[in-house]
């Protein structure tokens, strides 16, 4: 029985989906609390590969309840596609998936605006968004003009949507983009509303009841700490709070109910899209990490930028999220390397810097200070106990924990469920 938050501790794609899948066995409810279909969470079960965008990864376990919280922005058409795909693959969602009636809705004009704004940004200030309409939808939420899932079921939905369509099409035209087809949007969303009605509910009460009844609840963070709207590398971030605090505002569960926070980190670092990345490797080693780690975006297919593990980022993330333990993933990707580096601090303007500067231009000028390790140069892919890791791999993991002040609880050496080592904390 516990309430656990699992957060991405770098720039996303840390392997959250895989770890959620492993932990779901032990819980009753899995909840997404922020983001939208910009997320791509991969789970490999035997020869089957699933990529989940909006539905919590826990859905792949029969009998588990899954919730899309109020903090998520929901594209109903994308969600229905995901529901249909899961049903076709023998994983029906009825009765197990619950969508908050307070979650904001993504409309086609949000996606068109996302695309237009990216197009209009100067070449060196593009964010490289996933074009899933995330920024404009959260923008409408903050501007108090968004529509929520409860509105989708309201008899006045058509009128409410019409008002927005008129305004947004004016903006799109002014930006030189094609307006959206208002009657087609009305038709598609009315239909989606009918199909989603059985799923839309008061998830705040549902979740609080589950916690009060002693059920175990697992919060599935999307994106990562460095993409958080407040704490990430602004403006090269997403538009929600990916950090642990988002689990409260994004679900209606009070802070003191949370027992534990797990931070997921890759044994190296990746980033998709634009923005500073101090430990990025633009050389053959970076290419090797990309190849060995199959680093292509699960949502957009874009190649991910790769670099060394950044302990400054991980320490910052541990502090912000109150991380109790790491789930370290993709250690196996480092298997063949002769030398492995960890960034322990930055150097900026002749000064040593131990944390992330708020000024993006300062961060862009930071250069990493590295500590070098001899690689273990043998396969860790088949290792099933922490004690059986090659000594140099253990030393690398131990140093990573020492530098970040957080112990390792889970270690992953492959994409599949059985490539997961549970590490007992030394008392």
The catalytic site residues sit at 13, 41
Least Å from the CB of residue 204 to Mg ion: 27
235 versus 255: smaller Cβ distance to ligand IMO = 235
Residue 294's Cα: distance from chain center in Å? 18
The minimum distance between CB 14 and Mg ion, in angstroms, equals 8
Q: Position of tokens 């923008």? A: 139
Residues 168-227 that bind ligand IMO (CB under 6 A): 222-224, 227
Total Cβ atoms within 10 A of residue 387:
8
| Stretch of 6-14, 253-261, 321-329, 367-375 contacting ligand IMO, by CB under 6 A | 6-14
Q: Is 258 in the site for ligand IMO (CB under 6 A)?
A: no
Binding letters toward ligand IMO, positions 289-318, x by CB under 6 A: ---------x--------------------
Do 149 and 137 touch, CB atoms closer than 8 A?
no
Indicate which of ligand IMO, Mg ion, ligand GDP, none lies near residue 135 (CB less than 5 to 8 Å, by partner kind): ligand IMO
Applying CB under 6 A, does 129 fall inside the site for ligand IMO?
A: yes
DSSP assignment, residue 294? T
Binding stretches for ligand GDP (CB under 6 A): 8, 12-18, 40-42, 44, 293-294, 298, 329-330, 332-333, 412-415, 419
For ligand GDP, the closer CB: 42 or 169: 42
- φ, ψ of residue 190 to 5 degrees: the values are -65, -40
- Binding-site member from 8, 13, 244, 247 for Mg ion (CB under 5 A): 13
Beta strands per DSSP E along 27-64: 29-32, 41-45, 48-52
Q: Any alpha helices (H) in 175-310, and if so which ranges?
A: 182-196, 203-212, 246-249, 284-292
Which tokens in the block code for residue 371?
Answer: 């500590």
- List, in sequence order, every residue forming a beta bridge with 263; answer none if it has no partner: 7, 326
Q: How far apart are CA 173 and CA 178, in angstroms?
A: 6
Handedness of CA 55, 61, 62, 65 (dihedral sign): negative
**Is the Cβ of residue 239 or residue 380 nearer to ligand IMO in the bound state?**
239
Phi, psi of 224 (to 5 degrees): -155, 170
Contact with ligand IMO (CB under 6 A) among 18, 41, 148, 266: 41
- Nearer CB in complex with ligand IMO: 217/229: 229
If the CB atoms of residues 14 and 332 are measured against ligand IMO, the closer one turns out to be 14
Asked if 38 interacts with ligand IMO (CB under 6 A), we say: yes
Helix (H) / strand (E) containing 162 = helix 157-174
Nearer to ligand GDP, 116 or 243 (CB): 243
Is the C-alpha dihedral spanning 282, 287, 292, 296 positive or negative? positive
Q: Which two tokens stand for residue 45?
A: 């079960």
Q: Using alpha carbons, list the distances in angstroms from residue 216 to 209, 259, 374.
A: 11, 10, 41
Instruction: Tell me the closest approach of the beta carbon of residue 336 to ligand GDP, in angstroms.
Output: 12
Q: Which does 128 bind (CB under 5 to 8 A by kind): ligand GDP, ligand IMO, Mg ion, none?
A: ligand IMO
- In the complex, the residues that contact ligand IMO under the rule CB under 6 A are 8, 12-13, 38-41, 127-130, 132, 134-135, 222-224, 227, 238-239, 272-273, 298
């Amino acid at each position: 029985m516990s309430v656990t938050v699992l957060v991405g501790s770098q720039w996303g794609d840390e392997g959250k989906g895989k770890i959620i899948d492993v932990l779901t066995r032990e819980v009753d409810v899995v909840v997404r609390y922020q983001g939208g279909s910009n997320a791509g969470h991969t789970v490999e079960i035997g020869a089957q590969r699933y990529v989940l965008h909006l539905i919590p990864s826990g859905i792949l376990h029969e009998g588990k309840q899954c919730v899309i919280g109020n903090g998520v922005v929901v594209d109903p058409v994308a969600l229905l596609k995901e529901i249909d795909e899961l049903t076709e693959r023998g994983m029906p969602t009825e009765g197990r998936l619950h969508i908050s009636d307070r979650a904001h809705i993504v409309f086609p004009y949000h996606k068109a605006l996302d695309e237009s704004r990216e197009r209009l940004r100067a070449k060196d200030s593009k964010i490289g968004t996933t074009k899933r309409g995330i920024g404009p939808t959260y923008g409408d939420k903050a501007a108090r003009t968004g529509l929520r899932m409860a509105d989708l079921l309201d008899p006045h939905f058509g009128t409410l949507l019409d008002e927005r369509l008129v305004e947004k099409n004016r903006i799109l035209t002014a930006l030189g983009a094609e307006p959206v087809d208002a009657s087609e949007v009305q038709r598609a969303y009315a239909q989606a509303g009918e199909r989603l009605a059985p799923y839309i509910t008061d998830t705040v009460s549902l979740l609080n009841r589950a916690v009060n009844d002693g059920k175990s609840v697992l919060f599935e963070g999307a994106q990562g700490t460095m993409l958080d709207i407040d704490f990430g590398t602004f403006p090269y971030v997403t538009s929600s709070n990916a950090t642990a605090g988002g689990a409260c505002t994004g679900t209606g569960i009070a802070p003191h109910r949370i027992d534990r926070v797990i931070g997921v980190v890759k044994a190296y670092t990746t980033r998709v899209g634009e923005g500073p990345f101090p430990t990025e490797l633009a050389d053959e080693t970076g290419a090797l990490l990309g190849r060995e780690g199959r680093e292509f975006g699960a949502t957009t297919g874009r190649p991910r930028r790769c670099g060394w593990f950044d302990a400054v980022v991980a320490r910052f993330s541990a502090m912000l999220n109150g991380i109790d333990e790491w789930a370290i993933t993709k250690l196996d990707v480092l298997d063949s390397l002769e030398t492995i580096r960890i960034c322990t601090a930055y150097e900026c303007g002749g000064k040593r810097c131990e944390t992330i500067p708020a000024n993006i231009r300062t961060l862009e000028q930071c250069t990493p200070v590295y500590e070098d390790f001899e690689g273990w140069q043998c396969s860790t892919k088949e290792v099933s106990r922490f004690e059986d890791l090659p000594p140099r791999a253990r030393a690398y993991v131990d140093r990573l924990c020492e530098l970040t002040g957080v112990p390792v609880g889970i270690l992953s050496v492959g994409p599949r469920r059985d490539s997961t080592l549970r590490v007992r904390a030394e008392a």
